[in-house]
Amino acid sequence: MIVCKFGGTSMATAETINKVKDIILSDPERKFIVVSAPGKRDSKDIKVTDLLYKAYDEQQKNGSCKETLNKVRDRFVSLCENLKIDLDINPYIDEIAKQMPKTISADYAASRGEYLAGIVMAKVLNFKFIDATEIIKFNANGVFENELSNDLIKRLKNEKSGVVIPGFYGKMPDKSIKTFTRGGSDFTGALIARGVNASLYENWTDVDGFSVANPQIVKNPKSMESLTYEELRELSYMGASVLHPDSIFPVKVEGIPIQIKNTFNPSAKGTMITKELHTKENQPIVTGVAGRKHNTSVLLKKPMMNNEIGFARKVLSVFERRCISVEHLPTGIDTMSVVFSNVLTKEEEANLIEDLKIAVNPSFIEIEKNLSLIAIVGHGMASTKGTAAKVFTALANSDINIILIDQGSSELNIIVGVEDKDFENAINAIYSAFYE
């Protein structure tokens, strides 16, 4: 049994939804369908989810969201007309209009795109619509209830017909709607795949597969045929944006493969994401390169730091108190850098420095901003000599200064830090070193 998730571009127009329909109906194994809200129809268009967030803001500011909600209405009405389905979507939108002044939640507003898309898709396919609120649960603090949701999803296995489920949201105990973070329908799809014990989780999008590097930075990068859950986790965490970074957790437990497929080119192989290491010959050493700009690093120096028991704990507790999640901790004998992705205000910087001075009394402390982190990821690295040398040579030849180096203990990645201004050049240099 296959769980399929279709993203916003697949759900954007009647034409694309008909492609989705053909894909689903071409294989009876495709029984559980998770949908995103309709995305952009062209580069100037606005995603339905963004319109709904805007409607919520307008409602808060002006006491009415009629104008923007009518744009959502128009979009769904014309979608239904063009699909020639016997569905009057207006009462559903009327209900949203009625709820908007009452609800205080942006999550409720944003979730309605997936909800309406699910209603439409179920009609198109003649499948059963099951609202995500019935199976995806959050506790009163808004924390996702993993076990409870999984138990509820498991019951879907008994469904006789195909099922359509809206992605992205679920319900809290007080019946209010809670969404995952943006792009969260991928996560919903993964949860359904785990719950119904699917043989495959197909994630249908608008690219032929996972690119080795961001196509907005590298011209026509190669696509990956396969990668492991761990590699995907590293790459998506570092900014590669085909899949929501949390999506692998549910499927990883059961070892369910994820396949990235292209709705607009269904015969393309796509990218397969599995548990096992690649065994193929000619497997590249580096599976992918991804990175993020605008990180911050705090450099601390103190003579005899290495002998001071508890130094790292004291430093880290300052970051914990300030709710800053630490990403990397490269250390020297008497130096330590703490790298994190937050961009601090002047005041926050001053406070952080003050706290660190009190905690560990360093001889030198400096905040470095505009730091880009780039991850070079691949299981092949563990068994191949010279990978780091190749990365550093490529960067040196492009006249790029490396500010930081960190290698994960699993030897799955090498992280380098460069100045934001060098980010794009660095990605290109590394890509060329391994792929050209």
Nearest CA-CA partner of 130 in 181, 77, 195: 195
For residue 262, give the DSSP letter. E
Exposure letters 76-101 (e unless 16+ CB within 10 A, then b): beebbeebebebebeebbeebbeebe
Q: How far apart are CA 208 and CA 19, in angstroms?
A: 15
Q: Which is nearer to ligand ASP, 37 or 232 (CB)?
A: 37
Q: How far apart are CA 41 and CA 23, in angstroms?
A: 20
Asked if 299 contacts 404 with a C-beta cutoff of 8 angstroms, the reply is no
The residue number whose beta carbon is nearest to ligand ASP equals 185
Q: How far apart are CA 233 and CA 239, in angstroms?
A: 10
Q: How far is the CB of 419 from ligand ASP (least distance, A)?
A: 30
Asked if 3 contacts 189 with a C-beta cutoff of 8 angstroms, the reply is yes
Residues across the chain: 436
Size of interface with ligand ASP, in residues (CB under 6 A): 12
Name which position in 185, 236, 295, 387 contacts ligand ASP (CB under 6 A): 185
Report CA torsion sign: 313, 317, 318, 319: positive
Q: Which is nearer to ligand ASP, 179 or 211 (CB)?
A: 179
Binding mask 91-130 for ligand ASP (x = CB under 6 A): ----------------------x-----------------
Name which position in 9, 13, 36, 372 contacts ligand ASP (CB under 6 A): 36
Q: How far is the CB of 52 from ligand ASP (least distance, A)?
A: 9
Q: Which is nearer to ligand ASP, 68 or 387 (CB)?
A: 68
Name which position in 118, 170, 184, 380 contacts ligand ASP (CB under 6 A): 184
Secondary structure of residue 210 in the 3-state scheme: coil
Name which position in 56, 108, 168, 201 contacts ligand ASP (CB under 6 A): 168
Q: Is 38 in the site for ligand ASP (CB under 6 A)?
A: no
Name which position in 2, 3, 8, 54 contacts ligand ASP (CB under 6 A): 8
Write out the residues near ligand ASP by the rule CB under 6 A. Answer: 8, 36-37, 47, 49, 113, 167-168, 182-185
